Structure 1
Amino acid sequence: MNYITHLNAAFHEFYGDDRLKTGHISLYLTLFFYWNLHHFQDGFFANRREIMKMAKIGSKSTYHRLIKDLSNWEYIQYVPTQNPRLNTVVQVSHLCTSNGTETGQAGTLMRRYCPKNVPLTLYTKHLKQLKHSARKPKNEMEVIVFFKSKKWPPEEALKFYNHYTSIGWKIGGKTQIEDWHATAANWMIKAKEILEKPKLKIVSKNTDFLITNEQKNYGQPL
């Protein structure tokens, strides 16, 4: 029994099963924990009070409904008992075996598909969303909030957003931006450099340089 392989397969099943609610998943993980404590035996005695406490289930009726759902959906096999001297037996289904099938209690064949390699579609989708959000902000307000968090002038946020929106969020109009936060930091570095440069005196083309109020001593050699 491979602990990690089984959980990866279980989460893959959870992702595609819209019947499951948070209570089902919490109960399943708790049962898996106790299954692990029993060294992954075919079946183990389930202490309802302990399981409810760990799974954060408050009522008996909720517990029985959830565990019956998991059993009916073949995530586990639940063998209840009405005898107070006997304990309830739970068997967690083997989601991944070498041949892609699983055997239940007493060698009963379970009809559940077990992927050998769990696809990382959810993880890949999340990464794509992160990359897309890093390349450009959702709107102008997101840029303003980011600049405000860095204590940068809000007017620079508007300049930055309008500039890169006009060129399709590409550096130099050619290269796709990978992280607009880093590009904004570079924008502010350049803006600071421009502010710190000495301002050039604007001279009118009609200025007569021969007319001056400055007293000069023309007796000194050049």
Structure 2
Amino acid sequence: MIINRNSSRMKQSKNIIRLFENVVWDETMLPSHISMYVSLLQLWSTNQFRKSFRIHRDEVMKLSRIRSLATYHRCIRQLHSAGLIDYAPSYDPYKGSLVEIIEDRDQSLRKTKTPAPNAQKFVIPDLFEVELYFTERDLSSSEAKKFFNYYELQNWNVHRNKPMSSWQAAARNWISKQQKQVLTHQ
């Protein structure tokens, strides 16, 4: 009986190492992604490796040492997009979101999904991410909605239909322009 438990734990340890290698080999993953993924693996272990389990944002942020809500949402969405996890947000803080660690991620899929070095794929943000970004900078949710709606109408292109590379950079420019307008009107 003890041998079966040990072999089961050994198998799980090998699976965790293999899963962790998925995130390390993906060149688009930053230290914040890796930290979050390790935290999710730890929570998966705590939940006895169930197919899916519930997480709470505060707990994951604490474990992964992520302090920014925008970073948390960006990382979890990108881990989902990369096929490392299946993430179903609940938007209910008491219920928690549902996560599934994807165990059978094909290595050939990982290699074809990895972009060329220094190339980053633009991901259109969700409105709540933009709102978080703006509120973290002490700006109103309505200003975030104006920004989001403006670029949504532009198909997330900047001037002369050039595709946007970073919505955060565009938001910083937007905020800077808004602050200059406020100063000139005073």
For normalisation by structure 1, the TM-score amounts to 0.41
**Bigger relative contact order, structure 1 or 2 (CA pairs below 8 A, ≥6 apart):** 2
